[in-house]
Amino acid sequence: MILRLSSRACVLSGSVRLKSTLASFFDDLGKSGIILKSASSGIFENLALEDWIHDHVDLQNRSLLLLWRNSPVVVIGRHQNPWQECNLPATRRLGIPLARRRSGGGTVFHDFGNINMTFFTSKKKYDRHRNLKVVTSALKALRPNLDVAATDRFDILLNGHYKISGTAAKLGRSSAYHHCTLLCSVDRSVLSSVLKSNTAEVIKSNATPSVPSPVKNLLEVDPTFDSSTIMEAIASQYNSEFGFDSPVITVDPTHEALMPGIHKMAHDLQTWEWIYGKTPKFSVCTALVVDDVNIKLDMDVRNGTVERCALEIPADWLSPEIVNELISTLKGSRYCPNETAVLVAAFMRTRSMTDNVAEKIHRLCEEMLSVM
Amino acid sequence: MAAVITVRAPFVFMRRLVSARLHRNCCSKLPAACLVLRPHSYSLVAGRQHRYFHTSYVAARPIVQFKLSDIGEGIMEVTVKEWYVKEGDKVSQFDSICEVQSDKASVTITSRYDGVIRKLYYDVDSIALVGKPLVDIETDGGQAESPQEDVVETPAVSQEEHSPQEIKGHKTQATPAVRRLAMENNIKLSEVVGTGKDGRILKEDILNFIAKQTGAILPPAPFQEIRPQPPAAAAPLTPSAKATPPSVPIPVIPKPVFTGKDHTEPIKGFQKAMVKTMSAALKIPHFGYKDEVDLSQLVRLRSELKGLTESRGVKLSYMPFFIKAASLALLHFPILNSSLDENCTSITYKAAHNIGLAMDTSQGLLVPNVKNIQMLSVFEIAVELNRLQILGASGQLGTSDLTGGTFTLSNIGSIGGTYAKPVILPPEVAIGALGKIQVLPRFNHKDEVVKAHIMNVSWSADHRIIDGATMCRFSNLWRSYLENPASMVLDLK
């Protein structure tokens, strides 16, 4: 059986004939509302699952709720600048991947203490306030005294002050999805260290900025809260709000036969060209200090690639000739510390220079890498 | 929209516009220039002889203003974030035109028409108003407008070219098995292009259709165009075919037509680095020297030590031994750890043994090095190797790890292979490639056949300053350390 039904789910009558795709399975199911839960905690697989449902499932007469959680990851919005939004060196050090989703909005940090909910509807039925009402009502049903309310910016605030949920949405031809997070027991120290950029001041861009807010976990307010209970409450509230009667169906987003094309979707979401290359064009302007020498670095980056690079270096510290050669090595390369290190290493191998000059270039390069 | 416009069209099309009468009346009398219809523009000259013509030309291709339609939730303006098309691009219905953002919602605007983009009304990052024109599309004119719901979005997977819908109106032929396959996959037979006889739909056609629809990655297969050859062509095959009519029809071999396209992309990033390094390496006159090493004793030693290092949290491979042995041998042959200056006028003997490791990463070949091997123990080398491997796998190697190497070892045997011809990485003068360890029969000193763990090593060195004898003696010393690890203990510093 490809689909595993949760214990609370009703058993499908008869033998389930293995249909070609998940979409036709839903058609056969004949329900106007479906609740799905992802069996995966991989961000790329789950984002691909969202995309696949958005593209292939008929949502004109049907709505869908997808519940999912991920292992630690930073997720930026479609038009954001990762260098501006998060501390990339920290994420690399901690081994936390970066993902770019297709919906708009700001940057969030996910881990297992965070619940993601995606509400799929037709464009006509797209109503974010109603979706958030499902979440707040579900929480209030579990804890009647809980002060949770949605704002007109589609955030959910706890005690009128702490943000526990953020929203983003994607609209397509005839269907749309609205997804939001819910902080239950996220590691807040990791959250604050990765979401504070180390290079925001040196970057000039028109990318969508995030609006930082104070956050709190639901479990900090009530330690008896439990993520699974919350998910079940949301599922049943979804059913009652919209008048559906769907069980929670678990779906494995790696099952290519059930969802043809999903592997490629997940793969495309992991390419450098998508995650970093889709950053709207920006420029970097900063002063570096190497050996007490002031150096001005100026770069224009488009599609994640260095389009223009200028280094203002005192001529007595490094000859302009070698500086120009270094710059031409970097032009056209990705704004990426690894690639830059490799290119500079190749430059140093193939260009004869004294040890002194090599040391200087090495230190200059280290400083440049720190802003990537 | 009627207008006087410059029309770009093929010459043949242009000619048809010209009335037959023009030819009759003008061809002999007028200079040729008046009659020349340049393919790129068509300007008419009004003159007495051209009485039959109007000076204005009615465009048959209307330009449609595609307005930004309602996004929902009462939103009146959005920010244009990315254009997927530019002026002059051809678009089809459902192709994505641009991405706009409003209040945390990202919307993909798709085309309602087939046509050519003539004008973009907004730049990236400007505010677009709902209900105002977004793009101008020059359509074919005869298109029926699609229904009110406009923002038609192509499913992300099927952005490829449309398959021609030529089968419409014909009675589609397909075997019951093929029909069932189509039904199971919810495919309309009328939408599938049949490649069989008389346009019959075959099983492969259904599979190709599914692949196109879902964007599943299929290896590029030669597209088999089955064209039954006309009977006349079969005749020249054999001269005697005419005389004796064959009882079995001669099989017609279809000619496979390959529709794959070449793909060119600029060299950049990691590839650029490799091109640069290897082009410089070309200038070094290489010579090779190969040998066989019996690692039986080392294999035993490593298996004894593996548990101990793991308890210290470090994985122990054979590389730390190879590296340390190389460093010990370099102490006796320092010329292999040197560098030749650009003009070949002086040699610099490097004091530190910074031995590089060729590493195969997802981005390609990287060569980080471990510094000062002459001061490190085998265990410390193993620790450093672990660190570099983790950094290399996660793409985090920095310049200090990637520069400053003086000698390199490449363990290509970990992937496979026995002998190699490694390329020296400038500004070094020597490199060794290690093949895989094979279990082979060998004779021992008692003339018995025993099991031996054999590895091949292939050295390359710069023949301008290193001669064969030096390389040979270095290799012999290195080999002796590995074949008899106990001797390493004697010389360990």
Look at residues A275, A296, A331 and tell me which one is the last residue of a structural domain.
Answer: A275
A304 touches chain B (CB under 8 A): no
Does residue B1 surpass a pLDDT of 60? no
Interchain CB distance below 8 Å, A349 and B399: no
What does the alpha-carbon distance between residue A51 and residue A103 come to, in Å, rounded to a whole number?
A: 10
Which of B37, B81, B326 is closest to A206 using CA atoms? B81
Interchain CB distance below 8 Å, B186 and A20: yes
What does the alpha-carbon distance between residue A353 and residue A315 come to, in Å, rounded to a whole number?
A: 16
The pLDDT tens digits for A164-206 are: 999 999 988 888 999 999 999 999 999 999 998 888 888 888 8
Tell me, what amino acid is at B272? K
Does residue A116 surpass a pLDDT of 60? yes
pLDDT score at B250: 83
Task: Give me the CATH number covering residue A354.
Answer: 3.30.390.50
Could you tell me if A117 and A243 lie in one domain? yes
**Least CB-CB distance to B216: which of A261, A342, A347?**
A261
Q: How far is A188 from chain B (nearest CA, A)?
A: 23
Taking CB atoms and an 8 Å cutoff, what residues of chain B touch A102? 106
3-class SS letters over A332-354: CCECCHHHHHHHHHHHHHHCCCC
Interchain CB distance below 8 Å, B106 and A170: yes
Q: What is the mean pLDDT of residues A119-142?
A: 91
Show the domain range for B116.
63-139
The pLDDT tens digits for B83-104 are: 888 888 888 888 888 888 887 7
Does residue B39 surpass a pLDDT of 60? no
Interchain CB distance below 8 Å, A168 and B426: no
Task: Give me the CATH number covering residue B83.
Answer: 2.40.50.100
Give the pLDDT band of residue B226 (cuts 50, 70, 90). Answer: very low
- Residue for token digits 């091997």? B373
User: Whats the size of chain B, residue-wise?
Assistant: 493
A350 touches chain B (CB under 8 A): yes
CB A55 within 8 A of CB A85: no
Does residue A9 surpass a pLDDT of 60? no
Look at residues B139, B154, B179 and tell me which one is the last residue of a structural domain.
Answer: B139
Give the pLDDT band of residue B40 (cuts 50, 70, 90). Answer: very low
Could you tell me if A221 and A344 lie in one domain? no
Could you tell me if A208 and A329 lie in one domain? no
**Taking CA atoms, what residue in B is nearest to A19?**
B184
pTM across the whole model: 0.73
Interchain CB distance below 8 Å, A79 and B99: yes
A365 touches chain B (CB under 8 A): yes
Task: Give me the CATH number covering residue A9.
Answer: 3.30.930.10
Could you tell me if A333 and A242 lie in one domain? no
Taking CB atoms and an 8 Å cutoff, what residues of chain A touch B427? 349, 352
Could you tell me if A8 and A33 lie in one domain? yes
Taking CB atoms and an 8 Å cutoff, what residues of chain B touch A120? none
Could you tell me if A229 and A345 lie in one domain? no
Q: What is the mean pLDDT of residues B315-336?
A: 95
For chain B, the average pLDDT equals: 77
Burial pattern B200-237, b for ≥16 Cβ within 10 A else e, equals: ebbeebbebbbebbbbbeeeeeeeeeeeeeeeeeeeee
pLDDT score at A130: 92
Q: Answer whether residue B24 is part of any domain.
A: no
Taken in order B351, B352, B357, B362, is the CA torsion positive or negative? negative
Q: Which of A214-218, B131-135, B336-340, B373-377 has the lowest mean pLDDT?
A: B131-135
Look at residues B108, B139, B170 and tell me which one is the last residue of a structural domain.
Answer: B139
Give the pLDDT band of residue B244 (cuts 50, 70, 90). Answer: low
Q: Answer whether residue B45 is part of any domain.
A: no
CB A329 within 8 A of CB A343: yes
From the number of C-beta atoms within 10 Å of its C-beta (0-12, 13-18, 19+), residue A287 rates as exposed
- Residue for token digits 């570099």? B388
CB B22 within 8 A of CB B53: yes
A265 touches chain B (CB under 8 A): yes
Q: How far is A8 from chain B (nearest CA, A)?
A: 31
Q: Count of domains in chain B?
A: 2
Q: Count of domains in chain A?
A: 2
Could you tell me if A124 and A178 lie in one domain? yes
**Least CB-CB distance to A341: which of B274, B397, B425?**
B397
Q: Answer whether residue B181 is part of any domain.
A: no
Q: What is the mean pLDDT of residues B432-441?
A: 95
Q: Which of A129-133, A259-263, B176-180, B368-372 has the lowest mean pLDDT?
A: B176-180
Interchain CB distance below 8 Å, B82 and A77: no
SS3 B400: helix
Burial pattern B156-173, b for ≥16 Cβ within 10 A else e, equals: bbbeeeeeeeebeeeebb
**Best of A130, A264, A342, A370 to disrupt the B interface by mutation (most B CBs within 10 Å)?**
A342
Q: What is the mean pLDDT of residues A309-321?
A: 90
Chains A–B, number of C-beta pairs less than 8 Å apart: 176
User: Whats the size of chain A, residue-wise?
Assistant: 372
Q: Which of A142-156, A327-341, B47-61, B464-478 ranks highest by mean pLDDT?
A: B464-478
Q: How far is A337 from chain B (nearest CA, A)?
A: 7
Show the domain range for A306.
282-369
The ipTM value here is 0.79
- Give me the percent of chain A exceeding a pLDDT of 70: 95
Could you tell me if A320 and A288 lie in one domain? yes
**Least CB-CB distance to A362: which of B274, B399, B425?**
B399
Q: Which of A205-209, A225-229, A263-267 ranks highest by mean pLDDT?
A: A263-267
Could you tell me if A238 and A287 lie in one domain? no
Give the pLDDT band of residue B125 (cuts 50, 70, 90). Answer: confident
pLDDT score at B101: 87
Look at residues A258, A275, A292 and tell me which one is the last residue of a structural domain.
Answer: A275
pLDDT score at A342: 93
Does residue A226 surpass a pLDDT of 90? no
Q: What is the mean pLDDT of residues B446-460?
A: 95
**Least CB-CB distance to B270: which of A79, A256, A339?**
A339
Does residue A137 surpass a pLDDT of 70? yes
Q: Which of A232-241, A338-347, B54-63 has the lowest mean pLDDT?
A: B54-63
Q: Which of A141-155, A313-327, B95-109 has the lowest mean pLDDT?
A: B95-109
pLDDT score at B12: 52
A94 touches chain B (CB under 8 A): no
Taking CB atoms and an 8 Å cutoff, what residues of chain A touch B110? 172-173
pLDDT score at B245: 54
Task: Give me the CATH number covering residue B386.
Answer: 3.30.559.10
pLDDT score at B11: 53
Interchain CB distance below 8 Å, A154 and B268: no
**Taking CA atoms, what residue in A is nearest to B392?**
A338
- Give me the percent of chain B exceeding a pLDDT of 90: 36
**Least CB-CB distance to A104: which of B72, B73, B105?**
B105
- Give me the percent of chain B exceeding a pLDDT of 70: 72
- List the catalytic residues of B: 463, 467
Q: How far is B276 from chain A (nearest CA, A)?
A: 7
Strand (E) or helix (H) holding B176: helix B176-184
pLDDT score at B45: 42
pLDDT score at B59: 52
A47 touches chain B (CB under 8 A): no
pLDDT score at B33: 43
**Best of B92, B403, B407, B423 to disrupt the A interface by mutation (most A CBs within 10 Å)?**
B403
Interchain CB distance below 8 Å, B277 and A173: no
Q: Answer whether residue B396 is part of any domain.
A: yes
> Residue A105's CB: how many other CB atoms inside 10 A?
28
pLDDT score at A201: 81
Q: How far is B159 from chain A (nearest CA, A)?
A: 12
What does the alpha-carbon distance between residue A292 and residue A314 come to, in Å, rounded to a whole number?
A: 12
What does the alpha-carbon distance between residue A41 and residue A253 come to, in Å, rounded to a whole number?
A: 10
CA distance to B37, B41, B53, B59, B140, per residue, from B11 (Å) = 7, 10, 19, 17, 19
For A344, phi then psi, to 5°, come to -65, -40
Look at residues B81, B106, B139 and tell me which one is the last residue of a structural domain.
Answer: B139
Q: Answer whether residue B200 is part of any domain.
A: no
Q: Answer whether residue B54 is part of any domain.
A: no
The pLDDT tens digits for A59-114 are: 888 899 999 999 999 999 999 999 999 999 999 989 999 999 999 889 999 999 99
**Least CB-CB distance to B426: which of A105, A176, A349?**
A349
pLDDT score at B36: 43
Torsion of Cα atoms, B278 then B280 then B286 then B288, to 10°: -20
Taking CB atoms and an 8 Å cutoff, what residues of chain B touch A20? 184-186
pLDDT score at B241: 43
For chain A, the average pLDDT equals: 88
Give the pLDDT band of residue B211 (cuts 50, 70, 90). Answer: low
Could you tell me if A41 and A180 lie in one domain? yes
For A299, phi then psi, to 5°, come to -135, 145
**Best of B122, B208, B402 to disrupt the A interface by mutation (most A CBs within 10 Å)?**
B402
> Residue B3's CB: how many other CB atoms inside 10 A?
10
Interchain CB distance below 8 Å, B72 and A176: yes
Interchain CB distance below 8 Å, B157 and A264: yes
Look at residues A247, A275, A303 and tell me which one is the last residue of a structural domain.
Answer: A275
Q: How far is A362 from chain B (nearest CA, A)?
A: 7
